[in-house]
Structure 1
Amino acid sequence: MWHMTRNPFVVDVLQLPKEVQEKFLEMKADSSMKDDFHLLTLEQFWIKRLPVNSKLASLALRVLVRFSSTYLCETSFSALVLIKTKQRTRLDVDSDLTIDMTKTEPRINQLVLNTQSQVSH
């Protein structure tokens, strides 16, 4: 994958995953993409390809985005430090940390509508 990211115009298409080979060949044959490759940085080139060929560009950008796992690790550690204080040392933080690290936004209004606030006796 690194070779394709560094210079997509010299890589053999058979080295790539099957789901991106066709789009890769189209990009390789496009002369305007060759011009862009020589004028832009690697990051700019692949970001420009993202709307047109999202699978191929996202594979390349994953290679280019260094230390992404380190960033996630540091972010989760910071969240853990905020959650677990001296007063809450025995707290099981697994579920709290999972919620803090997720990118999914809760739909509070829908949850409230689906919940009956008080049960009839």
Structure 2
Amino acid sequence: MALHRDIFWVGRQWAVTGAGIQAVDQRLRGVLDIEIARLWDDDLVGSRRAKPGVNTADFDKALAVARERFPQPPASDPFVVQLVALGVVETPVVSRLVPAMQLRTEGRLARFLPQWRIRR
């Protein structure tokens, strides 16, 4: 599978993207990729780390960045726990910390809109 369009960190062998942890080498076709919902599954992470040819230092750095970027959903929320137990939730719950982008350009001509800048 191709790298997700949202790339947050790139190492030598691994990248943290909007889909989770992905191998940079596209010849693997997503075999070693880890989805966001399974970042906290220690058995899966251990099996990926044990594969031959995996750069463990790069993998550990990618895992640390991904777990910081996508925190584990709180286990105290009974609704989320019930959905996970039933297998209904396969994608993570959207973090309430990051607001969704809103575009307000309807009905305006593009040449009169100010150019946007990325603020840090």
Q: TM-score range by the shorter chain?
A: under 0.3
Larger Rg: 1
Q: Which TM-score applies when normalising by structure 1?
A: 0.27
Q: Which TM-score applies when normalising by structure 2?
A: 0.27
Indicate the structure with greater strand content. Answer: 2
Indicate the structure with greater helix content. Answer: 1
